[in-house]
């Protein structure tokens, strides 16, 4: 998070960048997605919240891609949440039915 925040600040001040910093977290790879507990440590969440960085998980990104392929993704809603979030994005995770098949 710190490195991303440093990069964001450098881009903002040196290049007048007006974008959004976000990271896709893919933690606890040794466990199936449905068995993973809290993927973010308190320090990472706190840093992301203060630095206005959005954090998505790979199951959230997978679900968005799956919905997009089905023509069911609310694209505006997806990007609104990514740009709104400071810390954890409030996006749906992979559907449980997919992970138990």
What pTM does this model have? 0.75
44 within a domain of the structure (yes/no): yes
Q: What is the pLDDT of residue 78?
A: 94
33 within a domain of the structure (yes/no): no
77 within a domain of the structure (yes/no): yes
Q: What is the mean pLDDT of each run of 10 residues along the chain (101 residues)?
A: 82 75 82 76 87 90 93 94 93 62 42
State the Cα angle at 25 between 8 and 45, rounded to 5°. 65
Alpha-carbon distances of 81 from 16, 20, 91, 96, rounded to whole Å: 23, 11, 7, 22
Classify residue 30 by burial, with Cβ atoms within 10 Å: 0-12, 13-18, 19+.
exposed
Extract the tokens encoding 60. 């959230």
Task: Give the single-character DSSP code of 95.
Answer: P
Task: Give the single-character DSSP code of 28.
Answer: -
Q: Which domain holds residue 95?
A: 2-28+38-99
């Amino acid at each position: 998070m710190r490195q991303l925040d440093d990069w964001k600040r450098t881009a903002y001040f040196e290049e007048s960048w007006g974008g959004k910093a976000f990271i896709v977290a893919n933690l606890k790879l040794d466990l199936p997605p449905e068995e993973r507990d809290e993927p973010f440590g308190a320090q990472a969440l706190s840093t992301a919240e203060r630095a206005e960085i959005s954090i998505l998980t790979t199951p959230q990104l997978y679900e968005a891609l799956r919905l997009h392929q089905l023509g069911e993704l609310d694209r505006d809603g997806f990007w609104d949440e990514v740009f709104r979030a400071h810390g954890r994005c409030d996006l749906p995770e992979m559907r449980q039915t997919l992970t138990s098949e």
